[in-house]
């Protein structure tokens, strides 16, 4: 979001120019028709290169987005019947936006509140299910890292807490816009 989230353009450009595999969010109709599941879900699709990234059209929030007509040609993390090599695609790091973040004073875990649609939370849940089906040499857990503007990181107060739900996972790290990193000691709680 142009004014409400940390901008990731420089991160994407640097990662691609460094030869990293970069996957970006792709929202689509749920392939899992079932009561209680969202009508739209998120997958991650791979960018081919910097030119591919620069060719993406911006959605109504200004976020560069994958053209649904090309999604079947791209490598996807969770995929579906039209996905290319989704069984071999895994992630090392997932950068997660949010509305608010805090550290639980009792557990030291980093909590994240998203925009309320559950796209990232449901994706992480489904991704962990995929990992549980892989062999131990392939099932490396993804590092969950939140990106926060300074104003979105709530100081410990005891009275205001970031709400969490059953699919919400604590983050491994949080990078705050002023350069602060949580947990401060760099050790995963």
Task: Decide: 189 and 109 in contact? Cβ < 8 Å.
Answer: yes
- Which tokens hold the place of 81? 């019947």
According to DSSP, residue 120 is labeled H
Average pLDDT estimate for 134-153: 83
CA distances from 159 to 95, 100, 102, 136, 152 (A): 28, 15, 12, 42, 16
Q: Cis peptide leading into 183, omega within 30 of 0?
A: yes
pLDDT of 98 strictly over 60: yes
Q: How many CB atoms lie within 10 A of CB 178?
A: 10
Which residues make Cβ contacts (< 8 Å) with residue 142, sequence separation at least 6? 90, 91, 92, 93, 94, 124, 127
- At residue 10 the predicted structure's pLDDT band, cuts being 50, 70 and 90, is very high
Task: Decide: 90 and 138 in contact? Cβ < 8 Å.
Answer: yes
pLDDT of 128 strictly over 90: no
pLDDT of 46 strictly over 90: yes
N- to C-terminal Cα separation, the chain: 29
pLDDT of 1 strictly over 50: no
The pTM of this model reads: 0.84
All domains of the chain, ordered by start, with CATH? 1-89 (no CATH), 90-189 (3.40.50.10420)
What percent of the chain shows pLDDT beyond 90?
37
Dist CA 87 CA 77 (whole Å): 8
The pLDDT tens digits of the residues spanning 161-186 come to 898 888 888 999 999 988 888 886 54
The pLDDT tens digits of the residues spanning 22-43 come to 999 998 887 666 666 777 889 9
């Amino acid at each position: 979001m142009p004014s409400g989230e940390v901008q990731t353009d420089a991160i994407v450009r640097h990662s691609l120019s460094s030869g990293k595999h970069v996957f970006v969010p792709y929202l689509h109709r749920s392939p899992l028709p079932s009561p209680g599941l969202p009508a739209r879900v998120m997958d991650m699709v791979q960018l081919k290169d910097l030119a591919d990234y620069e060719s993406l059209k911006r959605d109504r929030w200004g976020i560069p987005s994958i053209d649904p007509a090309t999604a079947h040609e791209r490598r996807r993390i969770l995929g579906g019947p039209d996905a290319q090599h989704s069984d071999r695609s895994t992630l090392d790091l997932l950068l997660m936006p949010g509305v608010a973040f805090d550290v639980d004073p009792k557990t030291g875990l980093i909590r994240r509140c998203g925009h309320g649609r559950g796209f990232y939370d449901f994706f992480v849940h489904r991704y962990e299910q995929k990992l549980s089906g892989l062999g131990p040499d392939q099932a490396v857990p993804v590092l969950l890292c939140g990106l926060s503007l300074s104003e979105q990181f709530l100081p410990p107060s005891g009275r205001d807490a970031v709400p969490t739900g059953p699919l919400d996972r604590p983050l491994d790290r949080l990078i705050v816009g002023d350069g602060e990193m949580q947990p401060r000691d760099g050790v995963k709680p």
